[in-house]
Structure formats: C-alpha cells, structure tokens
Amino acid sequence: MPDLPYRLGGLDHVVVRARDIDAMLRFYRDLLGCPVAKHNEPLGLWHLDAGGSMIDLVDMNGKAGSRGGPPPGPGRNVDHVALKVEPFDPEAIRAWFAAHGVETEAPATRFGAEGDGPSIYLRDPEGNGVELKGRG
C-alpha cells in the first residue's frame, strides 16, 4: 500500500444520470428513504442523503445532465450502489418494495465494506442496481 497523504473515510457520493427525474426521485426519496438534502435547480441536480453518504440524481434534461452526453444505451448507467441498512429484516424489506411494485431478488450473503453480511438486490426505475446491505 502506498504511503498516501490521506485516509479514505468511506463513500462520499455517487452520481446517477436520470432520464425520468420524477420516477427516480420517487424511488430514491420516497421508497428508499433518502431525503433531499439540497436541490441545485439551475443544474438540474438533486443531492439525496443516504445515511452519511450522498446519492446525486442528475436530470438528463438539465444543464449538468446534458454535459455527460447522450443517455446510456441499452446497458445500465450504474451496475449497482450498495446502501447499508439497519435493521436488516428481509421479509419486511421485500414486502415494502413489493407493495410499491418493485421486484427484489432473494436475500443472499455478500461481501461488503463491513465483511460478509445479508443483502438484497433491486433495480431503480432506470434499471440501475441497488443493493441493500445488512451487517454480518
């Protein structure tokens, strides 16, 4: 390991480009529970609080979104973003998303920042993966 002039402190933010900003806000804000911390209207950028990290949604039709080029093609914009969740109650989590028309994969044990632990995969309205990760 190189002698870095800094110490990594964790994930600060992830930026996701959105074709349908309203659907993405409903998913991340209303279903995942990430409140809007700030809205930079001139740029078409929403900063959502993800429990100490941020998920930024960029409207593809806004100033910042258009700088990234055309929308992603048939592939996903992001493979997945993993969010730490507590408590990790797989039945309650899956029921919540099912009631809102969001399919989830069966829980599995996966490795993450805090070692092996339970997780559930799902997809946002634009097909990007979201992993809800519990402690091991």
* Torsion angle defined by CA atoms of residues 81, 74, 124 and 71, in that order, rounded to the nearest 10 degrees: 80
Domain for residue 71, yes or no? yes
Residue percentage of the chain with pLDDT more than 70 = 89
Domain for residue 122, yes or no? yes
Domain for residue 94, yes or no? yes
Across all residues in the chain, what is the average pLDDT? Answer: 87
Identify the top-confidence range among 68-77, 78-87, 93-102. 93-102
- Helix, strand, coil distribution of the chain in percent, nearest 5: 20, 35, 45
**Residue pLDDT, tens place only, 2-47:** 777 768 677 888 989 888 999 999 999 999 999 999 999 998 999 9
Domain for residue 3, yes or no? no
Q: Residue 74: what pLDDT?
A: 67
Domain CATH code at residue 78: 3.10.180.10
Domain for residue 7, yes or no? no
How many Cα atoms occupy the beta-carbon half-sphere of 40 within 13 Å? Answer: 14
Domain for residue 18, yes or no? yes
What is the separation of C-alpha 6 from the centre of its chain, rounded to a whole number of angstroms? 26
126: left (phi over 0), alpha (psi -120 to 50) or beta: alpha
- The residue segments making up the domain with residue 38 are 13-133
Lowest mean pLDDT among 28-37, 67-76, 95-104: 67-76
**Strand order, beta sheet including 80-84:** 80-84, 129-133, 115-123, 108-112
pTM recorded for the entire structure = 0.79
Q: Domain count of the chain?
A: 1
Residue percentage of the chain with pLDDT more than 90 = 53
Domain for residue 55, yes or no? yes
Confidence of residue 75 (pLDDT cuts 50, 70, 90): low
Asked if pLDDT for residue 72 goes beyond 70, the answer is no
Q: Residue 68: what pLDDT?
A: 67
Domain for residue 56, yes or no? yes
